[in-house]
Chains A and B, each alone.
Chain A
Amino acid sequence: MIRLSIPVRQALSRLTLPVLAALSFGLILIGKADVVVEQYLRAKLSDVLAPVYGVVAGPIEAMRSEIGDVAGLWSLRVQNQQLREENQRLLRWQAVAIALDAENSKLKATLHWRGDASESFVTEPVVADTGGVYARSVLISTGPNSPIAKGQIALDSGGLVGRVTEVGARSARILLITDLNSRVPVTLADSRGHALLLGTNGPRPRLMYWEDGDAPKEGEQVVTSAEAGAYPAGLPVGQAHYIGANAVELIPDADLERLEVVRVVNYSVTDMAPPEQPALKPSQPKTPPPAKAGAT
């Protein structure tokens, strides 16, 4: 070790704080100018943390479900009654669904409907809640040769969760639809009108920019739209809910506050591209917008 005289050491220790502060400031500027380094560092850190959280997630989940079980014991009777009623209602809906499914496939056969793009999916556990004060995202742990790629779509048992924004060797980050940067083109299920879903960082994103006369109804189901080619059409997103005269929030179908497992789906939208269309620009992304199959 180098022996330094006491005044030099004192001067050095007084200098570290300003030097590090200047370095931080420089990092902010570099990060602003070039996002690649930032994304690389985040992916590396996620790769290190994902297996660790994967191990810890087991006990945490067990603890949470244990607490839930104990709490559930108190309301067992009431819950049982509720479940019976709900079951009856669902059985009625099941009969309707089977009938509609049969009718739907008959109609599709008559129309020579090409069908939706082929899809494949992987289901992965959510290992960390990587949102910040100004961001909403989750980290999923993936296998080494996972087919997950940037831009794929994440769903939970309820509905749309978000899109994959970063992929590392053992982890991937999903930007939730509630994040401030999230924009999802949506369709209002009843009126078939288009709108845009904007994240606000709050638990409920805002529904905006609908067409004149197509204002969403209270409780109307909102599904994704294939416009812009980022999402396949018809994935459930949530229900519209008025909080003011012209302010509509969306109550997400997905349980975004407590994500445990997500399904990352690869909708190969390329299958829907019209054949032999000359590319306008050589650097166009590989996923051209899907053919507008049936505007309604």
Chain B
Amino acid sequence: MSDKLPGVRARPSFRRRLDEFSRLSFPATSTLLLILLLEAPLGLSIAPQLQSALTLASLFFWSIHRPTSMPPWVGFGLGLLIDLLQMQPIGLSSLVLLLVIGVARNWRHDIRRQGFVLSWLGFALTAVGAVLLVYVASSLLRLRLLPISPCFGELVLALVLYPSLSLLFAHAHRSAAAPEQA
């Protein structure tokens, strides 16, 4: 960022650094707040699926467009939180979210060049992989075949919501999550 330009400049003020930090941490904090919000008793029967789907979409988008704002340890932490809240084996969601981050970072240059449809397709592939992995691992760890319908629900939600979410995120990407505008 600012390190790339040569020259002497003044040490940024405290307020400026705070602003920069809040913009830098926007992706992580917004995802965290979404997860916590969906945990409240809203009377939504699809809340858990929505929680997982939104986390997947958010991590995928930010890993492509602002990887510095979505470092692996954030994915790890969010995964732990989801595992604790959703009564899943601890570490499972962390592992899956880290894999999502890894995949998204790998594809990031191709996807940014190509535009929205490819990014949706990439997300669809990643989401199918992530949801299937959670399903298979949960079934294995409980030594029991779990019902597959909730995982379809999660997948459908993720795919349907991704376009509108990425619109929102893209808006934030240029405003609330842009540290260079601090």
Contacts and interface: CB of A to CB of B under 8 A. Distances in A.
Interface of A: 16-17, 20-21, 23-28, 30-32, 38, 41-42, 45, 49, 53, 56-57, 60, 64, 126-135, 137-138, 180, 200-203, 257-260
A17 B39 contact: no
A138 B43 CA distance: 12
B86 interface: yes
A259 B41 contact: yes
B116 to A, nearest CB: 26
B73 A126 contact: no
Contacts of B166: none
Given A17-B98, A28-B95, A201-B147, A127 B86 contact: no
Contact of B41 (A17, A21, A26, A129): A129
Contact of B91 (A28, A53, A126, A130): A28
Main secondary structure of the interface of A (DSSP, over half): helix
A202 B92 CA distance: 22
A20 B73 contact: yes
Interface in B40-91: 40-43, 45, 47-49, 52, 71-73, 75-76, 79-82, 84-91
A164 to B, nearest CB: 14
Contact of B95 (A24, A57, A128, A130): A24
Nearest to A173: B87
Nearest to B131: A133
A25 B138 CA distance: 13
A202 B95 contact: no
B94 interface: yes
B131 to A, nearest CB: 9
A34 B52 CA distance: 25
B156 to A, nearest CB: 13
Given A24-B91, A27-B91, A260-B41, A130 B146 contact: no
Given A25-B91, A32-B89, A129 B42 contact: yes
Nearest to B85: A130
B141 interface: yes
Contacts of B81: 45
Contact of A25 (B36, B95, B102): B95
B91 A26 contact: yes
Contacts of B41: 53, 57, 60, 126-129, 138, 258-260
A30 B76 CA distance: 16
B21 to A, nearest CB: 16
Given A20-B98, A131-B86, 11 more contacts: A24-B79, A24-B91, A25-B95, A28-B90, A28-B137, A60-B42, A127-B41, A129-B40, A130-B87, A133-B151, A258-B41
B88 A53 contact: no
B128 interface: no
